[in-house]
Each structure stands twice: as C-alpha cells, then as structure tokens.
Amino acid sequence: MVRRTVGRMNSHGQNEQRVVWAVAGSDIGPLLLAATGEGLVNVVFHATDTVRDKALDRLRSRLGAEPVEAPDSPLLAEAIRQIQAYFAGDRHDFELPLDWSLISGFNRQVLHELASGVPYGKVVGYGDLAGRVGQPGAAQAVGMAMGANPLPVIVPCHRVVESDGGIGGFGGGLETKRKLLALEGVLPEPLF
C-alpha cells in the first residue's frame, strides 16, 4: 500500500506531511483534535495548555511534522461539528476519515473491530472483544489496546467494559467514561 502525504515539498524535494490541530470544547472538557492529509489522527482528553503542549510534542516526534493550529481546516471543522452533534444527542456515528498511523498490529485490529462492531448505546466486554478478533484469551491485551487508542470518542473505547458489570478503566478518567456511557443511555445520568 502506498502511503500518500499531503503538504509541501521540503528542501530535499520530499513530501512533508502536514499536521493540523484545534481544541474543541465538549461536555467532557476540551478535546485536542489533530489531523493529517489521511484523516483525523489523534483526539486528546482534558486539553489544558500543558496537556496540549505535550500532545503536540508527541505528534511532532511520531509524525515528523510541526503541528499547525488550524481550526478552520475542512477536516477539523467537520470533526468539531460532528463532536458537537454527538454531545447534543443528534449524532450516533462519526463519518470522518481516520489516519491509523499512530497504532499498529493487534491494537489496530482491536480498534478497527471496536469502531465497526460496537454501535452507539451498546457495550462489549474486554474478553468478548478479544474473541471477535480471534484472540479469546487476550482480554488484558484488549485493555492495553483501549489505553493506547489515539482516537477516543471517535473510536469508542468507552464502550468496552468488564464482563462482571464493572466499568473498567479509561484513559480519560472514570468520570469521563461514565459521562459518555450516560450520554449513550448505557448508564443513568449521575444525580449530582
């Protein structure tokens, strides 16, 4: 497969990948969204200045490009619109191109299955998801894949729970996971 990059030529005549980013407000706090010419590549929870700067440094290192703030770029503007519609209860599925380059192997396989096979308002157990990708004993590895998810909310790792009814862990914090599951009708809204 040929990987195409969008951007400009560098001084050596090679394509230079472009990474754009924006911070969007949401019901679970500010989200950093980053995209390449391939699609949305990263969503980061709790995007305070410090968290944002660390995330941009990681993207710079991993993708070899200087991230540029560009909230009006068509892909980011559309991602922000869809996220706002999701939190308003008007959207259940995201229709965005995704760049999976920050994740590979088993983790990518698990996240692809999650994205395509666990719809809004449903949950799946870690072990069940492992079985869906042909690794029935790999529940713990599925948990690691959820923790490595570079596209949370869009690739809904909040929908993966413990088989005994526990909520499980979550990179964005358990309160964030509860809010997302409540939004989707899986959990009751907190009383306070």
Q: Which positions are catalytic? A: 157
Bridge-based pairing state of the strands 124-125 and 160-161: parallel
Q: Which helix (H) or strand (E) holds 127?
A: helix 126-132
Give the long-range contacts of residues 120-123, CB within 8 A, separation 24 or more. Answer: 120/92, 120/93, 120/156, 120/184, 121/92, 121/184, 121/185, 121/186, 122/159, 122/186, 123/159, 123/160, 123/161, 123/181, 123/186
Contact 26, 46 (CB under 8 A): no
Of residues 35, 72, 32, 63, the one with CA closest to residue 49: 32
